[in-house]
């Protein structure tokens, strides 16, 4: 059975050799669609586990959204420069993780990029690039060193007035980590989740298979190859997936927090990691740092592998990428048989 899961990737699993219940459901979440499939023997228990997963993700969306002025994240941003305040434990936890990933990625991933996101969104709306002064003001408000956290209580703040956090680059993967916790607590050992076709969670394997198969897109909208996931998370990020045009030039939605500039070169990155949040942070960092520095960073991290392809089809990958995900690139028979069964 082959199913498309989102716009960018595709997953598939073969039938079980023994009677098994396959339960799946998809619901809107965080501006996209979350799809979860469980291989189980008790349909009622599987559906109950699915319901708990979707309920938790909905709770997290209400906390992390920037589009509700009353959300926990919006209230944090509104109070920037006023000192730490009590926050929901989940918000404190994702902020702590995000601050750690900013340090890990040498500042190439930073959730305090909110002022730059707002600046470039406004630039796209008016059709002219930000001035040097506007860019300097926004950059001065960016930096995860300004995330203030209490050591023993769920309290958080933003040190400088005008700072704002945007969790769009990590929230889906972080939410999938919470889904993994729920499924593990329910005794689920075989499951697959796709969040918007860009963030993936694989628990165990589908029956009679070595892993959950995911078809990666390339930077030009075609296919790069097939990966096999088992007890790992995957994040795929494109530099120009959501772009704005100013004076005939495309600017991507991924912004380098260090320079304040959006990426303008088409590339697609994929990272597998032990957690969804880490995979998301590193896939953005791989795009921002570029092939050489980005791959070198991933090589130093245990349990992490990465792959990047540009618009010309040129690829770079970590040394262990092919082995870790049993990668079949688009030139091989394994890729063609998966995309075009029977050919």
Give exposure, 284-323, as e/b (b: 16+ Cβ within 10 Å): bbbbbbebeebbebbeebeebbbbbbbeeeebbbbeebbe
CB 50 within 8 A of CB 42: no
**What is the CATH number that goes with domain 2-62+188-339?**
3.10.520.10
Predicted confidence band at 12 (pLDDT cuts at 50, 70, 90)? very low
Using left for φ > 0, alpha for ψ between -120 and 50, and beta otherwise, residue 242 falls in beta
- What is the rounded distance in angstroms from the CA atom of residue 102 to the CA atom of residue 282? 10
pLDDT tens for each residue of 93-135 = 999 999 999 999 999 999 999 999 999 999 999 999 999 999 9
CB 304 within 8 A of CB 298: yes
pLDDT tens for each residue of 283-332 = 999 999 999 999 999 999 999 999 999 988 999 999 999 999 999 886 65
- What is the rounded distance in angstroms from the CA atom of residue 135 to the CA atom of residue 258? 11
Q: Domain-by-domain residue ranges, the chain?
A: 2-62+188-339
- What is the rounded distance in angstroms from the CA atom of residue 99 to the CA atom of residue 94? 9
| Coil, strand or helix at 37 | strand
What is the DSSP code (8-state) at residue 189?
Answer: -
What average pLDDT score do residues 213-225 get?
88
- Edge to edge, the sheet with strand 21-29 lists 21-29, 32-40, 191-195, 199-203, 232-238, 267-273, 305-310, 315-317
């Amino acid at each position: 059975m082959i199913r498309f899961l989102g716009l960018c990737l595709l997953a598939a699993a073969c039938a079980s050799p023994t009677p098994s219940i396959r339960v799946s459901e998809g619901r809107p979440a965080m501006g996209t669609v979350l799809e979860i499939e469980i291989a189980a023997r008790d349909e009622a228990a599987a559906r109950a586990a699915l319901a708990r997963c979707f309920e938790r993700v909905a709770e997290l969306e209400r906390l992390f959204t920037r589009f509700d002025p009353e959300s926990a994240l919006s209230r944090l941003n509104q109070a920037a420069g006023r000192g730490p305040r009590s926050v929901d434990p989940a918000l404190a936890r994702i902020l702590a993780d995000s601050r750690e990933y900013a340090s890990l990625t040498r500042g190439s991933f930073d959730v305090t990029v909110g002022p730059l996101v707002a600046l470039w969104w406004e630039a796209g709306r008016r059709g002219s690039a930000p001035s040097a002064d506007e860019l300097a003001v926004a950059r001065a408000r960016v930096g995860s060193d300004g995330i203030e956290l209490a050591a023993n209580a769920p309290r958080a703040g933003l040190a400088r007035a005008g700072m704002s956090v945007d969790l769009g680059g990590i929230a889906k993967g972080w939410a999938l980590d919470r889904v993994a916790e729920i499924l593990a607590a329910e005794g689920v050992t075989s499951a697959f989740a796709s969040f918007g076709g860009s963030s993936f969670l694989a628990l165990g394997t589908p029956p009679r298979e070595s892993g959950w198969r995911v078809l990666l897109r390339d930077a030009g909208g075609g296919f790069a190859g097939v990966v096999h996931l088992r007890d790992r998370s995957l994040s795929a990020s494109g530099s120009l997936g959501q772009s704005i045009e100013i004076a005939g030039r495309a600017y991507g939605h991924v912004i380098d927090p260090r320079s304040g500039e959006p990426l303008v070169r088409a590339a697609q990155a994929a990272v597998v990691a032990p957690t969804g949040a880490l995979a998301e942070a590193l896939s953005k960092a791989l795009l921002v740092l570029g092939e050489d520095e980005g791959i070198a960073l991933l090589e130093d991290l245990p349990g992490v592998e990465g792959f990047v392809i540009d618009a010309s089809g040129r690829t770079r990958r970590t040394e262990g990428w092919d082995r870790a995900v049993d990668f079949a690139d688009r030139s091989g028979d394994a890729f063609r048989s998966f995309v075009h069964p029977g050919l």
